[in-house]
C-alpha cells in the first residue's frame, strides 16, 4: 500500500465523515460543524500554529469535498451540495488557509563554502549580488535574479538550488508563488493532472469532490452506474478480488458496475482504424488520446501538434456512450486513479456525470460501513480482452493498437514510441517532429507508470502495474480485435470520434 502521510490520513478522514453523514441523512448545517471538532481536537496532534488555524484548514477542505467555493460558509456549502449545486471553479484548487507560503530562497549558500581565493561565484554573478560576509559567501536577495550561474561556478558544490515541492512537481510550469509566497495556479498552462496535489507536504492543494452529489443520486433512486477503470485491480487491497469490489460497489447502492476496459477495446479498434487510414496519407505520426492531461498538454503547450492527436474518444467516454445508448436515464460515475478525468467529464457532460478517484471510492466504502474484503465472492468474468485490461499500465495502449493494426492493415509498418511524465512527453514529441525520433505512433501518459501511477491511487505504482498485468494475462488471452463479437452490433452507429 501507499505510505500514509498525515496529509492523506486527514484528507481521507474528512471525506469518510462527510460520506457517513450523507449516507445517514444527517449532513445538515448543524452536523457539518461537528467534523471540525472531530478532526481537530484540543488535545492535538497539532500541525499548525493553533487549533483555530487547524480548523480553518479543515473548513477549506470540507468546502472542496462538497464541491463548493471557499467563499461560502460550510453550512451553506452542505446545503448547496445536498441540492446538487457545484461551484463553477477549476477541478484543482489551492486551499488558501493551508498554503504555508514556503519561505524558500531558490539559491542558498551552505556551510560547505570555503571562502576560496578564486571566488568564482562572485565573478560569475551578473548583478554583483554575492559578497563575502564573516568568511563565507553571501547572496543579497534584493539583487539576485536567480540565474543559477553561481551554483554552476562553485567548485565545492556549496551552492544549492531549492524549489517548492509544488513547483518542482509541475513539469509544465503552471504553478508559481505570488508576491506573498503563496502558490498560485496558472490555469492557462495547467492541465490539472494532480501532480502538485500529491507533492504538497502541507496538503494545501486539493480537488473538487462529488461524493455527496453521487450519494444523493443513489438515495433518490436513480440508476447510477459505476464504470471501473482498468487500474482498479488490487487498489482496495491485494487480497480483494475484482468480484468483491464489484459487489461492494453494488452494496452501496449503485445500479450496476461496468468495466472501462471494454471501452478500451472499442478505443483500440477505432484508433487502429484511424492510424491505418491517416498515417499513410499524411506520412506523419499519430498520438493516443486516452490520457486527458497529456492531451491538455499538447493543446496548451504544443498547439502546433494538436492535429496529430487521435480523434477517438477515451475508454471512459466510450464506455459511457454504450451505457447511455442502452439507458438514456443512466447516471454514470467513472471510478479511477485520475483527477484530469474530472476535467474530461465536464467536456463530455452529456455522457459522464461524475468522476471519483479510488481514494474517494474508498471513503464511500468507509462512510457506508462496507469493507470490500468482507464481501462475499461471486462469479466474475471480464468482458474485455487482454489488451483492454492492460490499458492501465504504461505501454498498454500502444501494444493494444499494434496488435489490432497488424490485423487490420498487415502491410502497415507501426513504429511506436512512448513516454511517461508531461515533460518527457513534450521532449519526445518535439524530437519526433524534428525527425530525431523515427516513430509514427506515440503513447503519452502524464503519470509515471501510466494510469496506475495516478494521483488517486491507493497502492504503490509498481505493485499496481504488476497486478494489472497479472490480471490481464490471466483473465483473457484474446486481443481487442478478437473481442469484436463481444462489442454489441447494435452500438455500431455510436459516434466514437471528436471530429
pLDDT tens profile 30-42: 788 888 888 887 7
My answer on whether 284 and 428 are in the same domain is yes
Instruction: Please list the residues that pair with 92 across neighbouring strands.
Output: 207
Q: Are residues 385 and 465 in the same domain?
A: yes
By percentage, how much of the chain surpasses pLDDT 90?
77
Grid coordinates belonging to 443: 503513447
Task: Check residue 29 and give its pLDDT.
Answer: 77
Query: Could you tell me if residue 59 is inside a domain?
Result: yes
How many Å apart are CA 13 and CA 120, to the nearest integer?
A: 52
Question: What residue numbers bound the domain in which 297 lies?
Answer: 222-491
The Cα-based distances of 83 to 48, 88, 296, 363, 402 in angstroms read: 34, 15, 31, 21, 47
User: What is the rounded average pLDDT of the residues 54-81?
Assistant: 94
pTM for the predicted model, two decimal places = 0.91
Cα separation, 91 vs 87, whole angstroms: 10
Report the C-alpha gap between 16 and 438 in whole angstroms: 49
In this structure, are residues 21 and 32 in contact, taking their beta carbons and an 8 Å threshold?
Answer: yes
Q: For residue 245, what pLDDT band results from cuts at 50, 70 and 90?
A: very high
On whether residue 168 sits in a domain, the answer given is: no
CA 132 from chain center: how many Å? Answer: 46
Do 43 and 79 belong to one domain?
A: yes
Q: Is the peptide bond before 45 cis (omega within 30 degrees of 0)?
A: yes
Q: Are residues 226 and 341 in the same domain?
A: yes
Residues 302 and 363 in one domain: yes
State how far the Cα of 143 lies from the Cα of 127, in Å rounded to an integer.
6
Domain count, the chain: 3
Tell me whether residue 170 is in a domain: no
| DSSP code for 312 | B
Measured CA to CA, the distance from residue 395 to residue 444 in angstroms comes to: 9
Mean per-residue pLDDT for 418-444? 96
Say yes or no: 338 and 442 in one domain.
yes
Supply the pLDDT for residue 1.
Answer: 61
Is the pLDDT assigned to residue 492 strictly greater than 80?
Answer: no
Q: Is residue 169 one of the residues assigned to a domain?
A: no
Q: Is residue 499 part of a domain?
A: no
Residue at 10 is within a domain: yes
pLDDT in tens, 287-298: 999 999 999 999
Confidence of residue 409 (pLDDT cuts 50, 70, 90): confident
Of 177 and 198, more confident = 198
Q: What percent of the chain has pLDDT over 70?
A: 96
Instruction: Assess contact for 94 and 184: CB atoms under 8 A.
Output: yes
For the cut 90, the answer to whether the pLDDT of residue 459 exceeds it is: yes
Domain shared by 338 and 487, yes or no: yes
In a domain, 498, yes or no: no
* DSSP classification of residue 139: E
The residue from 141, 162, 183 where one domain ends is: 162
Residues 135 and 237 in one domain: no
- The Cα-based distances of 298 to 34, 336, 394 in angstroms read 45, 22, 18
State the DSSP string of 283-295.
TS-EE--S-HHHH
260 and 185 share a domain?
A: no
DSSP, collapsed to helix, strand or coil, labels residue 167 as helix
Residue 473, in any domain of the structure: yes
Nearest to 115 by CA among 148, 154, 152, 142: 154
Give 308's DSSP letter: G
Q: What is the reported pLDDT for 281?
A: 82
Q: Does residue 438 carry a pLDDT above 70?
A: yes
Shared-domain flag, residues 61 and 115 = no
CA distance 257 to 249: 8
pLDDT computed for residue 472 by the predictor: 92
Pairing mode, strands 136-139 and 130-133: antiparallel
pLDDT score of 328 more than 70: yes
Say yes or no: 235 and 253 in one domain: yes
> Do 384 and 327 share a domain, yes or no?
yes
| Rounded mean pLDDT, 104-123 | 91
* Comparison of pLDDT for 378 and 195, the residue scoring more: 195
Amino acid at each position: 500500500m501507499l505510505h500514509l502521510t498525515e496529509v492523506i490520513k486527514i484528507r481521507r478522514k474528512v471525506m469518510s465523515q462527510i460520506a457517513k453523514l450523507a449516507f445517514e441523512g444527517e449532513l445538515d448545517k448543524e452536523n457539518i460543524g461537528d467534523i471540525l471538532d472531530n478532526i481537530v481536537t484540543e488535545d492535538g496532534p497539532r500541525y499548525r500554529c493553533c487549533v483555530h488555524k487547524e480548523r480553518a484548514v479543515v473548513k477549506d477542505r470540507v468546502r472542496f469535498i462538497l464541491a463548493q467555493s471557499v467563499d461560502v460558509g460550510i453550512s451553506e456549502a452542505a446545503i448547496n451540495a445536498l441540492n446538487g449545486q457545484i461551484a463553477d471553479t477549476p477541478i484543482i484548487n489551492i486551499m488558501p488557509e493551508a498554503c504555508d507560503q514556503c519561505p524558500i530562497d531558490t539559491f542558498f549558500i551552505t556551510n560547505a563554502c570555503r571562502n576560496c581565493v578564486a571566488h568564482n561565484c562572485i565573478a560569475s554573478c551578473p548583478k554583483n549580488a554575492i559578497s563575502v560576509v564573516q568568511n563565507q559567501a553571501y547572496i543579497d536577495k534584493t539583487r539576485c535574479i536567480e540565474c543559477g550561474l553561481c551554483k554552476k561556478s562553485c567548485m565545492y558544490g556549496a551552492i544549492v538550488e531549492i524549489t517548492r515541492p509544488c513547483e518542482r512537481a509541475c513539469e509544465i510550469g503552471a504553478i508559481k508563488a505570488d508576491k506573498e509566497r503563496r502558490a498560485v495556479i496558472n490555469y492557462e498552462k495547467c492541465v490539472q493532472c494532480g501532480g502538485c496535489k500529491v507533492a504538497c507536504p502541507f496538503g494545501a492543494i486539493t480537488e473538487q469532490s462529488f461524493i455527496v452529489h453521487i450519494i444523493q443520486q443513489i438515495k433518490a433512486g436513480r440508476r447510477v452506474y459505476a464504470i471501473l477503470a482498468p487500474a482498479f485491480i488490487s487498489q482496495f487491497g491485494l487480497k480483494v478480488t475484482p468480484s468483491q469490489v464489484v459487489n461492494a460497489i453494488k452494496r452501496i447502492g449503485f445500479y450496476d458496475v461496468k468495466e472501462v476496459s471494454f471501452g478500451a477495446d472499442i478505443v483500440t479498434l477505432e484508433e487502429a482504424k484511424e492510424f491505418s487510414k491517416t498515417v499513410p496519407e499524411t506520412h506523419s505520426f499519430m498520438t493516443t488520446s486516452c490520457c486527458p492531461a497529456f492531451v491538455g498538454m499538447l493543446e496548451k503547450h504544443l498547439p502546433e501538434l494538436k492535429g496529430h492527436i487521435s480523434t477517438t474518444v477515451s475508454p471512459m467516454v466510450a464506455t459511457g456512450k454504450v451505457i447511455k445508448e442502452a439507458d438514456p436515464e443512466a447516471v454514470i460515475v467513472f471510478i479511477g486513479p485520475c483527477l484530469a478525468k474530472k476535467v474530461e467529464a465536464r467536456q463530455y457532460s452529456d455522457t459522464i456525470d461524475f468522476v471519483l478517484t479510488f481514494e474517494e471510492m474508498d471513503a464511500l466504502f468507509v462512510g457506508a460501513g462496507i469493507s470490500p474484503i468482507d464481501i462475499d465472492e461471486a462469479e466474475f468474468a471480464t468482458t474485455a480482452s487482454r489488451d483492454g485490461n492492460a490499458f492501465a499500465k504504461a505501454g498498454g495502449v500502444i501494444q493494444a493498437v499494434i496488435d489490432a493494426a497488424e490485423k487490420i492493415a498487415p502491410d502497415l509498418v507501426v513504429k511506436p514510441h512512448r513516454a511517461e511524465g508531461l515533460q518527457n512527453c513534450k521532449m519526445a514529441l518535439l524530437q519526433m517532429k524534428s525527425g530525431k525520433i523515427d516513430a509514427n505512433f506515440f503513447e503519452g501518459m502524464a503519470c509515471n507508470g501510466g494510469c496506475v501511477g495516478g494521483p488517486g491511487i491507493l497502492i504503490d505504482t509498481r505493485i499496481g502495474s504488476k497486478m494489472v498485468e497479472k490480471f490481464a494475462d490471466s483473465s483473457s488471452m484474446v486481443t481487442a480485435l478478437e473481442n469484436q463479437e463481444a462489442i454489441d452490433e447494435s452500438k455500431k452507429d455510436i459516434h466514437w470520434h471528436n471530429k
